[in-house]
């Protein structure tokens, strides 16, 4: 079988983690089988259409490296690939007519008030919820003609078979059976003439030769309706693949508090696209063995339906951060500087970090400072980035982490001053630091370490910690950071002296 799958988003909201995993799985599956991945825009719900979302969908997919061999923006022999355009061409009119002629669909004329009364009755009497026929399922042609002549609005509903078992063979869950009497008659064509997902997606899947309908397990309850549609037309059913849901670490449905956000927010937060792809691919799918860190090519090579799990996948921000930190450490300092500078100047980065919800307002100033410093002293920036590379997990963190390298007067942490500039030896230490490095052209980490250890030994200190800490605060304003000797060498003698003199003024 030549695999053909489709990613079919609706332009009703920005793509989030679940949407992107859906697209990624199809990309990996099509690549693995040397098949075709199709992008189709399902925009029949015009009441929820949001301008600009189509463009955001495409931008998200491009950033993630998800490829399409056919479809919206790519062309192909099965277009158009936007459902509203397919509707205008009369594609759905043709097939709903076939369905009605075969008795598998009917017009229903209930008003909104009548449908509300039906639902309330079902609720009170604890009946199955849904539309199971009313008077119109078995109405005579004369009754239908009279309703149309009276100008009554109608929808076209699917006539589900009664008193039968509908069997679905799901690629993950195996045989799933449904009592057809519990499956409601879904609306196929709305009152405005637009097809619903239930109808348009299945018709398009057949016409586009889709071999596997891959989607979230929340669609399992709709599977008997869709299977019945294929059967009513006499079409071969595609293989149903209902992928596991995504939960947070607490086992509850994924939400924003777990880290679920739109795809492009991960870009603006400083995550690498490959990291996000690697991370999302492993939510509900296992490649076998203990493999976790995988390139896109490796994911494509390994991905198949056998690795999909029926149990919910878990979205773990800690794991995402670990992965992103790992991939950042695989880059050279020059590669990181290039990425950070592009990241700092991206309009979406500033927009994200200036939102009210994002409390950390120090990110953008730090990034812009790094970008400016790179224009005048690229060597210092690359050394700073290299020293912080082991400590940060996102591109966004490099700005603040490296800021003290480029600031003429990095701000002092008041608690650090109170603790370490108050020790009895602080003044003498800083004065000797000035003496040692004033007038020196350059220094190495070994030079800096030699000074610290010699000073501790000369002043009868058993450990170098009491020497390291005041020196670090003088150099950076903070008590934490990369290795002291390496950062001092990166700063160079002139900055060491200037910062030591500034620190002396605090004592």
- Written as tens digits, the pLDDT of the chain (507 aa) is 799 999 999 999 999 999 999 999 999 999 999 999 999 999 998 888 899 999 999 999 999 999 999 999 999 999 999 999 999 999 999 999 999 999 999 999 999 898 888 888 888 887 888 888 888 999 999 999 999 999 999 999 999 999 999 999 999 999 999 999 999 999 999 999 999 999 999 999 999 999 999 999 999 999 999 999 999 999 999 999 999 999 998 888 887 777 778 999 999 999 999 999 999 999 999 998 889 999 999 999 999 999 999 999 999 999 999 999 999 999 999 999 999 999 999 999 999 998 856 557 889 999 999 999 999 999 999 999 999 999 999 999 999 999 999 999 999 999 999 999 999 999 999 999 999 999 999 999 999 999 999 999 999 999 999 999 999 999 999 999 999 999 999 999 999 999 999 999 998
CA torsion sign, 424 to 430 to 436 to 442? Answer: positive
The DSSP bridge pattern shows strands 105-108 and 187-189 to be unpaired
Query: Are the C-beta atoms of residues 333 and 392 closer than 8 Å to each other?
Result: no
Kindly give, in sequence order, each residue whose CB lies less than 8 Å from that of residue 104, ignoring residues fewer than 6 positions away.
158, 159, 228, 229, 232
> Which of 363, 385, 360, 280 lies closest to 323 in space, CA to CA?
280
Taking a C-beta distance cutoff of 8 angstroms, is the pair 52, 45 a contact?
no
Superfamily of domain 90-243: HUPs (3.40.50.620)
Q: Is the dihedral of CA 355, 357, 361, 363 positive or negative?
A: negative
Per-position b or e across 285-318, b if 16+ CB within 10 A of its CB: bbbeeeeeebebeebbebbebeebeeebbbbbee
pLDDT of residue 133: 85
Predicted structure pTM score: 0.92
CATH 3.20.20.150 is right for the domain spanning 4-72+246-317: no
CATH number (3.40.50.150, 1.10.10.350, 1.10.287.110, 3.30.310.160) of 414-504 reads 1.10.10.350
Q: Outline which parts of the chain fall under CATH 3.40.50.620.
A: 4-72+246-317, 90-243
pLDDT of residue 359: 53
Instruction: Give the total residue count for the chain.
Output: 507
Residue 105, SS3? Answer: strand
pLDDT at 256: 72
Q: Which residues are catalytic?
A: 256
* Distance in angstroms (rounded) separating the CA atoms of residues 304 and 240: 14
């Amino acid at each position: 079988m030549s695999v053909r799958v489709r990613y079919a988003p609706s332009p009703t909201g920005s793509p989030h983690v679940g949407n992107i995993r859906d697209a990624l799985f199809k990309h990996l599956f099509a690549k693995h089988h040397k098949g075709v991945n199709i992008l189709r825009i399902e925009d029949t719900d015009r009441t929820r259409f949001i301008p600009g979302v189509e463009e955001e969908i495409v931008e998200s997919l491009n950033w993630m490296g998800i490829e399409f061999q056919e479809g919206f923006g790519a062309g192909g022999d099965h277009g158009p690939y936007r459902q509203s355009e397919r509707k205008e061409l009369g594609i759905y009119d043709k097939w709903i007519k076939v369905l009605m002629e075969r008795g598998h669909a009917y017009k229903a004329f209930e008003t909104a008030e009548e449908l509300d009364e039906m639902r309330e009755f079902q609720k009170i009497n604890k009946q199955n919820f849904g539309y199971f026929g009313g008077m119109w399922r078995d109405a005579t042609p004369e009754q239908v003609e009279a309703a149309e002549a009276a100008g009554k609005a109608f929808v076209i509903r699917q006539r589900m078979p009664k008193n039968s078992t509908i069997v679905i063979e799901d690629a993950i869950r195996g045989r799933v059976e449904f009592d057809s009497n519990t499956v409601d008659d879904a609306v196929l064509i709305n009152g405005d003439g637009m097809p619903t997902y239930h109808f348009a997606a299945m018709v398009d899947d057949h016409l586009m030769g889709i071999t596997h309908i891959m989607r979230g397990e929340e669609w399992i309850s709709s599977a008997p309706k869709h299977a019945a549609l294929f059967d009513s037309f006499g079409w071969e059913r595609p293989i149903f693949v209902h992928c596991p849901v995504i939960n947070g670490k607490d086992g509850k449905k994924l939400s924003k508090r777990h880290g679920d956000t739109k795809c492009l927010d991960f870009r603006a937060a400083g995550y690498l696209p490959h990291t996000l792809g690697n991370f999302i691919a492993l939510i509900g799918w296992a490649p076998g063995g203990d493999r976790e860190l995988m390139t896109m090519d490796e994911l494509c090579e390994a991905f198949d339906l056998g690795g999909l799990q029926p149990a919910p996948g878990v979205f773990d921000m800690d794991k995402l951060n670990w992965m992103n930190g790992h991939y950042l450490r695989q880059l050279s300092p020059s590669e990181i500087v290039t990425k950070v500078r592009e990241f700092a100047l991206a309009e979406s980065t500033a927009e994200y970090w200036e939102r009210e919800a994002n409390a950390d307002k120090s990110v953008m100033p730090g990034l812009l400072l790094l970008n400016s410093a790179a224009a005048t002293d690229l060597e210092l920036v690359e050394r700073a980035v290299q020293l912080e590379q082991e400590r940060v997990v996102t591109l966004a963190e490099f700005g603040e982490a490296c800021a003290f390298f480029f600031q003429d007067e990095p701000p002092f942490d008041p608690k650090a001053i109170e603790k370490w500039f108050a020790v009895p030896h602080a003044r003498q230490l800083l004065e000797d630091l000035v003496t040692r490095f004033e007038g020196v052209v350059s220094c190495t980490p070994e030079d800096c370490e030699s000074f610290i250890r010699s000073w501790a030994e000369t002043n009868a200190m058993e450990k170098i910690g009491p020497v390291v800490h005041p020196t670090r605060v003088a150099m950076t304003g903070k008590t934490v950071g990369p290795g002291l000797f390496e950062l001092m060498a990166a700063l160079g003698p002139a900055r060491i002296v200037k910062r030591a003199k500034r620190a002396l003024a605090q004592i």
